[in-house]
Chains A and B, each alone.
Chain A
Amino acid sequence: MVSAQHSDKFSDDDMNQEPLAPSDTPATQVLRIFGIGSAGIKVLEQLTNSGIPPSSLIAIHSDSAALSVCAKAEKVHIDSKAVSRITGKDAAQNEGLSGDDPLPRLRALCAGAQVVFVVAGMGGLLGTSLSSVIARTARETGAFVLGFIALPFDCEGSQRAELAYAGLKEFRDAADLVVCWPNQKTLGLINEGTSLLDTFTVSNELLAGCVHAACRALGSDAAMGLRFLDLCRTIRNCSSECLFAVAEAAGANRAIEAANRLLAHPMLAADGILQSARTLAVCIVGGPALAMVEVNRIMEQLQARCEMASLSMGAGIASELGDTLSLAVLLTPARVASSRTQSGAENGNADLAPRSQATSSGMQLLENDSGTRRNSRFLPPPPALPPEKMEQLLKQQARSAGRSRKNQASFRQTQLPLEILSKGRFDKSEPTIHKGEDLDVPTYIRRGMALN
């Protein structure tokens, strides 16, 4: 369905040769992809296979055996003691405690990168705790941090889920934008006989496909609309959590096909996700032959399905894509946007953080850390007003309210509902139309026969 194993060569060579030299041209943005924990490393492994240069991949794990799986990537081994040390308290305060503090190394790896992707699975020890540390470190070095966060299956138990959502919350505050990847969504893609390992592979492949598409979008030359990073920023203005879906198609009918595949993507397949989306950012990347008609067709398809959303788009050219058209969509479902504005929202936020309102001891630990992060992107607190200004505003409001009441009271001509005449006995049946004539209408009327 969504192919992640596209064998194009991402990223220009200069990016690989001089990874630490930042450049202003967007096509040569320096990118680092951190894979944290088992889930992150598995995604990195997929990415290595799909042609992402290994020099930009960094695998982090507490188990050196797990690290060895990812042969080509840069490896950072952080033992569990170090993890608890740097996450247990504020990381900056325990520099003198140990000689093998991993933070300077992480900082060095982030240095010079303009964009950092953090790929991790939440719910475990490493991903949950370390990802926000890395995000924070990367942000300190000035990078744009985009997280790809896999959330546990429902059947993995409430404790793990709570831990995951607590981790997600922390990460959300540390990163610029978080792509949530509920593993539960992949259940729709497997069948009865799929093994446990294969299920995770499916999920990791899909996630790797998203990361790959994001890399490609980042590396493409902007041809129309916004660049990928700007698209991410428009999404961030609405919410720091979003869903991400990608699709690819090649051939003559690729635009329609890609759009259809995108709509069938497990992240968008749930009823009403697209319709209720608040913000939608579409990134279309194709080879040099990418046609305006195709872009137009895709946008029309998407627009028709999400009339409510504020839509932004960007189209880019990546010559290595050839005949293939890659389509990526970032979107904020309505429920996420609203849940951020009203903390006690109903438990309908199933896609991103359904259990974030759950009362539990694990949650309370992290509830009170707000305020360290940048200002909320939603409903900034009302500015403090001097009393006379407030009075003036209230008066104005009262005046306008009075006017509107008056307007409501004024007579308005309404339209009478169209009353459909009953067709008697044939009311509920299909009309019998023969050569344009409705045979249910009495013949003598149709023939204009006079009865006197």
Chain B
Amino acid sequence: MFDPSSIIVGLEIGTSKVCAVVGELNAEGALNIVGLGQARSRGVRKGEIADVPAADEDVRHAIVEAEQMADVEIRNVYLAVTGSHLRGFNNRGVHPVVSADREISEEDLQDVIKNAKTINLPAQNHVIHAIRQHFLVDGQDGITNPVGMLGARVEVDVHVVHGNLNRLQNAIRTVKGLQLEVDDIVFSGLASSLALLSNEQKELGSLVIDIGGGTTEYVVCANGIIKHTGVLAVGGDHVSNDLAYGLKVTLSRAEQLKIEHGSALPGENDKGKTVTLSSELGLQPKQINLEHLHRIMSVRLEEIFQLIGQDLEQAEVLDYLRAGIFLCGGGARIPEIAALAEKVFGLSAGVAKTSSISGLKSALDQPEFATAIGLVKFGSFQQRKRVKGSLADGIRTTLGQIFRR
């Protein structure tokens, strides 16, 4: 039915769900979401596979569902990776301009980018992304293309995301075990930000926080480039776990309470209110104090935001966030979460919706599908590049270009 090369699949093996999104690239190069498959994830803890057979089965279910919905056969996927082992940092490359007239040439740019990508990492670490940022010419910052400018010294920053090779390979092996090829791995926070942010938001400066089941990823984009990325191995599971401890209920009950009665901010008239838990087999119906429920959730979510805030402050990127905070992931569904983020960061915050992609409304509107949709978008950039016939030197440059658009 479809030309196989025009089908792009994003696969996210998350802590709470496995999600596969099928996108189709039409003749004009526009992306259309045509299929979605998801399965409850049982083999993943904190974003990393802990039980391989269970994860295998869940991925298979999600892929089969997506195949049926889109009526395609999935062979290749773009895979999202996350986990506490992922780290992001900025690296700078320097190159002296040697030509007699001091004019910066294309070769100088290639050299300086090559220098910036030379990163000294332990052998077990693998660079997932090295995303180009701005150039500096003789210390002058914020130059997007210095070719033709005069200068003695050209520098460039790259943002590097790297992680432990073995832990990254766990997810890749699971997918390959199902006879699927992995086109690329993408940091899931980056994929979410790709799906959510418009060019203007990237330019103005925005923080994307993807609150997943086991991890929370955050990405800062400003001036059209990726400024900072991070992962916190705390997510919605921790909220449920806290509730199970604090309210003395089972984990599944806590999960249910979180979804049905949860709130990120304690309400003013919570005091004295209770929720009745329908009786479990042979047990008395249980009264749950709503105030406690909200307070337990609130302190945990507040802490997550505070930890992110501290990290951003350390990285000195807090002042760039003029467009505000964009929340996604399953955690973004918690009522009042945007209000809590506003309170913690002192910036406008909202639950983001996927922009600039057409297709299934049911998929695009959900904050938890942002990563998988972002993966498809990432894949579409890669694909277009191949179609154009430009000699791609991999994902890193692509990302640089994406964020320069």
Contacts and interface: CB of A to CB of B under 8 A. Distances in A.
Interface of A: 424-426, 428-430, 432, 434, 439-440, 442-445, 447, 449, 451
Contacts of A444: 242, 246, 295-296, 299-300
B200 interface: no
Contacts of B300: 442-444
A439 B238 contact: yes
Contact of A442 (B45, B46, B214, B242): B242
Given A426-B241, A439-B303, A444-B299, 16 more contacts: A425-B45, A425-B237, A425-B240, A425-B251, A426-B46, A429-B50, A430-B46, A432-B84, A442-B296, A442-B300, A443-B302, A444-B242, A444-B296, A444-B300, A445-B245, A451-B246
Chain A CB count within 10 A is highest, among B233, B242, B300, for B233
> Is the contact region of chain B dominated by helix, strand, or loop, or is it mixed?
helix
Nearest to B50: A428
A39 to B, nearest CB: 43
A127 B312 CA distance: 78
B251 A442 contact: no
Contacts of A432: 46, 84, 232-234
Contacts of A434: 232, 307
B292 interface: yes
Nearest 9 pairs between A and B by C-beta? A429-B45, A442-B242, A432-B233, A443-B299, A443-B300, A429-B46, A443-B303, A451-B292, A442-B245
A443 B242 contact: yes
B152 to A, nearest CB: 42
Given A442-B242, A444-B246, A451-B246, A428 B45 contact: yes
A424 B251 contact: yes
Interface string B355-369: 000000000000000
B48 interface: yes
A425 B51 CA distance: 13
Contacts of A425: 45, 237, 240-241, 251
Contacts of B48: 429
Contacts of A447: 299
B234 to A, nearest CB: 5
A445 B246 CA distance: 9
Contacts of B292: 451
B227 to A, nearest CB: 21
B335 to A, nearest CB: 19
Contacts of A429: 45-46, 48, 50, 214, 233
A159 B351 CA distance: 81
B308 to A, nearest CB: 11
27 contacts: A424-B241, A424-B245, A425-B45, A425-B240, A425-B241, A425-B251, A426-B45, A426-B237, A428-B45, A429-B46, A429-B48, A439-B234, A440-B238, A440-B241, A442-B242, A442-B246, A443-B242, A443-B299, A443-B300, A443-B303, A444-B246, A444-B295, A444-B299, A447-B299, A449-B295, A449-B299, A451-B246
A47 to B, nearest CB: 42
Contacts of B296: 442-444, 451
B113 interface: no
A451 B251 contact: no
B11 interface: no
A429 B240 CA distance: 16
B225 interface: no
